[in-house]
Amino acid sequence: MNIKLYNKISNKGLSRLDKSLYTCSEDVENPDGILVRSAKLHDIEFNKELKAIVRAGAGVNNIPIDRCSEAGIVVFNTPGANANAVKELVFAGMLLSARPVFDAMSWVETLNGDEDVATLVEKEKSKFVGNEIRGKKIGIIGLGAIGIKVANLALHFGMEVYGYDPYISIDAAWQLSRKVHYAKTLDELYEKCDYISIHVPLNGKTKNMINDDAIAKMKDNVCILNFARGGLVDEDAVCTALDEGRMKNYVCDFPNGNILHKKGVICIPHLGASTPESEDNCAIMAADQLSDFLENGNILNSINLPNLTLDRSGEARITCFHKNTPNMIAQISQTISGEGINIENLINKSKDEYAYTMVDVNSKSLDAVIAKLDAVDDILKVTQL
Ligand SMILES: NC(=O)C1=CN([C@@H]2O[C@H](COP(=O)(O)OP(=O)(O)OC[C@H]3O[C@@H](n4cnc5c(N)ncnc54)[C@H](O)[C@@H]3O)[C@@H](O)[C@H]2O)C=CC1
Ligand SMILES: O=C(O)CCC(=O)C(=O)O
């Protein structure tokens, strides 16, 4: 099978893909699977053999999910695999805002060593006084893999923590410290907090969620930390608030021309997940999920289909990615049994508009049945494994 790499993927992950089964490179044609990090796939035309796209990371806004679903392509990500790296950089960003370390270091770099540096430093250092973060209030929007880690660590820094996430998962809620205050509304969080850190996905509902209205509700001198996606924040609103002295800093992992060189903006070149540890974690999860899907049809951590695994039985497996419409299971089983093939095991699960069925059968001669299933309305992709 051909696996196309749209970004550099750690060898720790790629080496888990059996070389006798997979060819992985940036140049393969007609891929069965794609491994990607941040490369934008919106303008890519997908070949008909493509079955899966795995995002080695969290955010999937670089992938055209709807188009993939309609083409029967399963999209995966690797939840939590890079969360620790992001959490640590969020605190680096917060401390860079609290203490003007960057300006202070730049000033030290201007010294030439001819003068009495030690005396000069003691004389001038008061220009670079900052604040401690202990005792300050931080609001965290989005309590998923990263938000939880940021919230719990902030408590260890002695901060008062407010969390907002109307869709928090049960697993996530178990991991969150009881000391985190539950913000019922965003307004409550905006009104109270000195630091606001955003950890939600970028989608139609969250785009520009930090806008003029939101900023108007925030405390003067607020610092916004955005290690999630640039599009979550209306940069014009941020620049106006900075110009008017209503915001202290905008710390952002997604620089662009609008905020470059802007006083009060601290830009980092999308380094949140750029540690070997997190790159390895993501690549390992991505490779394992991809191979289990391509070899067995099992699904773990998909965006457009539910988790579904089934131990292998019978002679072969048929998988169908289909629409979640009435009569699909009956049509699939009738088509198979109509060819005189016995079904050993069948499993089906749906997620929103789409569903997935795996059928273990007692025959390996499946060309005719695959062709018939392919022709069924609302079946988007059929594979034989
Ligand atoms: N800077 C970087 O390198 C990285 C950035 N990211 C970004 O961070 C985002 C979050 O990552 P994870 O925590 O791993 O994802 P996650 O999926 O574990 O958590 C996202 C959380 O946001 C919540 N949420 C969704 N919509 C919301 C809304 N309107 N208001 C409040 N909460 C909402 C969800 O319920 C979920 O708990 C990713 O989608 C990605 O865009 C992720 C990893 C690295
Ligand atoms: O792979 C990367 O470096 C970016 C990580 C990221 O932004 C994500 O996982 O959402």
CA separation (Å) from 5 to 1, 35, 74?
13, 5, 16
Q: CATH number for the domain including 342? A: 3.30.70.260
What are the tens digits of pLDDT across the range 307-355? 999 999 999 999 999 999 999 999 999 999 999 999 999 999 999 999 9
pLDDT in the model for residue 204: 95
Structural domains counted in the chain? 3
141 lines ligand 1 (CB under 6 A): yes
Q: How does pLDDT run across 189-211, given as a tens digit for each residue?
A: 999 999 999 999 999 999 999 99
**What pLDDT score does 197 carry?**
98
CATH code assigned at 175: 3.40.50.720
Same domain? For 236 and 179 the reply is yes
377 contacts: CB under 8 Å, gap ≥ 6:
none
Task: Kindly state whether residues 177 and 69 are assigned to the same domain.
Answer: no
**Ligand 1 atom closest to Cα of residue 227:** 1
The verdict on 226 and 166 lying in the same domain is yes
Quick one: 283 and 144 in the same domain?
A: no
| pLDDT (0 to 100) of residue 115 | 84
State how beta strands 343-351 and 354-361 pair.
Answer: antiparallel
Mutate to test the pocket of ligand 2, among 38, 62, 86, 275 (most ligand atoms within 8 A of CB): 38
State pLDDT tens for residues 88-102. 999 999 999 999 999
Tens digits of per-residue pLDDT, 13-29? 999 999 999 999 999 99
Cβ(79) to ligand 1 under 6 A?
A: yes
How does pLDDT run across 261-301, given as a tens digit for each residue?
999 999 999 999 999 999 999 999 999 999 999 999 999 99
Do 212 and 280 fall within a single domain? no
What interface predicted TM-score (ipTM) does this complex get? Answer: 0.99
Q: How far is the CA of 199 from the centre of ligand 1 (A)?
A: 4
Same domain for 65 and 99, yes or no, is: no
For the stretch 149-170, pLDDT in tens is 999 999 999 999 999 999 999 9
Predicted pLDDT of residue 233: 98
Residue 47, C-beta contacts closer than 8 angstroms, at least 6 positions apart: 29, 30, 31
Claim to verify: residue 97 and residue 190 sit in the same structural domain: yes
Question: Distance between CA 268 and CA 97 in Å, rounded?
Answer: 13
- Same domain? For 299 and 333 the reply is no
Q: Is 59 in the pocket of ligand 1 (CB under 6 A)?
A: yes
Is the domain of 299 the same as that of 317?
Answer: no
The conformation of residue 168, written as its DSSP 8-state character, comes to -
Question: 73 C-alpha to center of ligand 2: Å?
Answer: 21
Q: Are residues 227 and 113 in the same domain?
A: yes
Instruction: Supply the pTM of this predicted model.
Output: 0.96
User: Are 132 and 157 members of one domain?
Assistant: yes
**In testing the pocket of ligand 1, which one of 146, 188, 225 has its CB within 8 Å of the most ligand atoms?**
146
Strands (DSSP E) along 7-87, which ranges? Answer: 23-25, 33-36, 52-55, 74-76
pLDDT value for 309: 98
Domain that holds residue 233: 83-267
Protein residues whose CB sits closer than 6 Å to any atom of ligand 2: 37-38, 57-59, 82, 272-274
- Verify that 127 and 188 share a domain, yes or no: yes
Residue 114 has pLDDT above 90, yes or no: no
381 touches 320 (CB < 8 A): yes
Q: Is 145 in the pocket of ligand 1 (CB under 6 A)?
A: yes
- Token output for 304: 């457009």
Q: Find out whether the beta carbon of 178 lies less than 6 Å from any atom of ligand 1.
A: no
- The distance of Cα 178 from the centroid of its chain, to the nearest Å, equals 25
What radius of gyration do the chain's Cα atoms show? 25
Q: Which of 214, 249, 267 is the last residue of a domain?
A: 267
